[in-house]
Amino acid sequence: MQTSTLSQSSLAPAATGLITFEGARVARSAYSAKYRTLSVRGRLVENVSMPGVGEVLRLPGDGVTINLSGFMVFPGLINAHDHLDFSVFPRMGQGPYPSWREWSTDIHRSEESRIAESLRVPLETRLSFGGIRNLISGVTTVSHHNPFLDQVFRGDFPVHVPHGYGWAHSLAEIHKVVERFVQTPPGWPFILHLAEGTDQASQREFDVLEHLVPLNEHLMLVHCVGLTPAQWETAVNSGTGIVWCPSSNLYTLGKTLAAEQILKLPNVALGTDSPLTAAGDLLDEIRFVHEELGVPARFVYDLVTTKAARLLRLRNGEGNLQTGSKADLIIARDRHHTPAEALIQMSWRDIELVMEQGRITMLSASLAERIPVELKEGMERIFVDGVGRLIRAPVQKLLEQACLSLERTPSIGGRKLALTEANSRPDCGHQPSLERSPIATRNDYFSPEVMNLRDDCH
């Protein structure tokens, strides 16, 4: 690996001129990828055309051309459910449990010190690492199940976090569900954990919800493991959206939705849930649902592109690569498969470039050599399990902030982070600072999962 191309620099805005990618196959659907020239101007895809046919006319000095021979371009992936603020937490619990309530009670008893240690990391830092965890796995849009924080998610956050959503944690906050549902504009999804358990209490949640709010496409229900066959049929017929988090469900509950159920749903998407219970990142989830649960590759592809975009009410062409769509894309080596077949075999190590809203936000060492210097301004070097990446985030500052609180090497999704290839890192062995920013100490920003939920009315 030539690490010299992964030089650090101060944060700076990405270039907004014309960027032309040529020589690669471009994914047009789960089934099809064609050799195309793809041009990006500002935040949008300006043109996707056959080489030499219908290409954008460019004046001398207008933008740059990048040769992507040997690569395939995919739409940026969409993670339909994550808790970004839990990014530095390790996996916790020894399931299966009857429901998330018993899991929460158990980890607060058995993992108290590790929870306290992770919560010492400032909230903004944990959120940023959550963005990076998604970014390195090719995610460009992630639905965050917690409050939208303008001062964190707008601007230079590593991935796009949609702000147009209503939410409540679960029916444990039943007094908030109706109030927040009514306050959510009609064009926004309302997101709620539901029936995250296999016990009778979890089964009853769907019936309770039916009496609280109308069941329709406005609702995005996460998990739904405890639904009875009759409840499931009602959910399907109502058009209610379902977000599937299978590895998290199996770890916590020992059960998840069957592939046959997922394939019948008109409105469904895939989510990782948080590192507290998930197996890894979105690419890990993709491989898992295909290899272990038997979901066809073409359907998996749609779960993290077009179906996720529809469920989250994204309206800027996310999940597609076409003229006029938002310039969210990822690039990997072309293994001469269909896009769906390629995606189900990928790991985070295969993602060589990520672009979000026309900005290159992540680069591998090898592909960085093909990218003009001006497009890499503002990117910083990080090593993930010893693999170098350039990331558009203040990674050195973030690692230093994490090390003020953690007594271990910072990691995200079980993958160690460092500033050098040799895995040297800032000293994490000293006592953590007691100073905290106001936002980092406010408990109302923490989901009930990491607060003590012995009282269901938290």
Q: Mean pLDDT in the chain?
A: 88
The CA distance from 256 to 266, in Å, is 18
Our CA angle for 30, 31, 35, nearest 5°, is 100
Identify the burial level of 379 via C-beta atoms within 10 angstroms of its C-beta, where 0-12 means exposed, 13-18 middle and 19 or more buried.
Answer: buried
Q: Is 91 exposed, middle or buried (0-12, 13-18, 19+ CB in 10 A)?
A: middle
162 in the same domain as 21: no
Q: d(Cα 133, Cα 317) in Å, to the nearest integer?
A: 23
Q: Which residues pair with 82 in a beta bridge?
A: 144
pLDDT at 428: 57
Tokens representing 164?
């147009």
In 321-406, beta strands by DSSP E: 329-333, 351-356, 359-364, 380-384, 387-391
The confidence score (pLDDT) of residue 59 equals 59
Whether 40 and 23 map to the same domain: the answer is yes
Q: For position 92, which CATH number holds?
A: 3.20.20.140
- Does residue 310 sit in the same domain as residue 327? no
Pairing of strands 359-364, 139-144: unpaired
pLDDT tens digits, 368-407: 999 999 999 999 999 999 999 999 999 999 999 998 888 7
- pLDDT > 90? residue 440: no
CA 150 to chain centre: 18
User: Residue 271 pLDDT > 80, yes or no?
Assistant: yes
Answer left, alpha or beta for residue 351, where phi above 0 means left and psi between -120 and 50 means alpha. beta
Same structural domain for residues 321 and 261?
no
Return the higher-pLDDT residue of 102 and 58. Answer: 102
With a threshold of 0.85, does the pTM exceed it?
Answer: yes
CATH classification of the domain holding 50 = 2.30.40.10
Report which of residues 436 and 129 the model is more confident about.
129
Q: Are residues 202 and 263 in the same domain?
A: yes
- Tens of pLDDT, residue by residue over 175-231, are 899 999 999 999 999 999 999 999 999 999 999 999 999 999 999 999 999 999 999
Range in 143-152, 204-213, 304-313, 413-422 the model is least confident about: 413-422
Rounded Cα distance, 435 and 422, in Å: 31
Q: Are residues 161 and 295 in the same domain?
A: yes
Decide if 7 is inside a domain: no
Amino acid sitting at position 185: P
* Boundary of a domain, candidates 265, 282, 315: 315
pLDDT at 450 over 50: no
The one-letter code for the residue type at 433 is S
Q: Where does residue 446 fall: left (phi above 0), alpha (psi -120 to 50 degrees), or beta otherwise? A: beta
pLDDT tens for 1-32 read 333 333 333 333 445 589 999 999 999 999 99
Please tell me the total count of domains within the chain.
2
Categorize the per-residue pLDDT at 63 as very low, low, confident or very high, splitting at 50, 70 and 90.
confident
Both 310 and 322 in one domain: the answer is: no
Task: Say whether pLDDT at 34 is over 80.
Answer: yes
Q: What's the CA gap between 197 and 239, in Å, rounded? A: 22
Q: What proportion of the chain, given as a percentage, has pLDDT over 90?
A: 80
pLDDT tens-digit profile of 273-317?
999 999 999 999 999 999 999 999 999 999 999 999 999 999 999
pLDDT at 2: 34
CB 308 within 8 A of CB 270: yes
**Residue 441 falls inside a structural domain:** no
**Which range of residues forms the domain containing residue 281?**
78-315
**Whole-number Å distance between alpha carbons of 329 and 38:** 11
Percent above pLDDT 70 for the chain: 86
- Residues 31, 117, single domain; the answer is no
**pLDDT value of residue 92:** 96
Other beta carbons within 10 Å of 432: 15
* Residue at token pair 């690492």: 129
Which residues partner with 355 through β-bridges? 329, 360
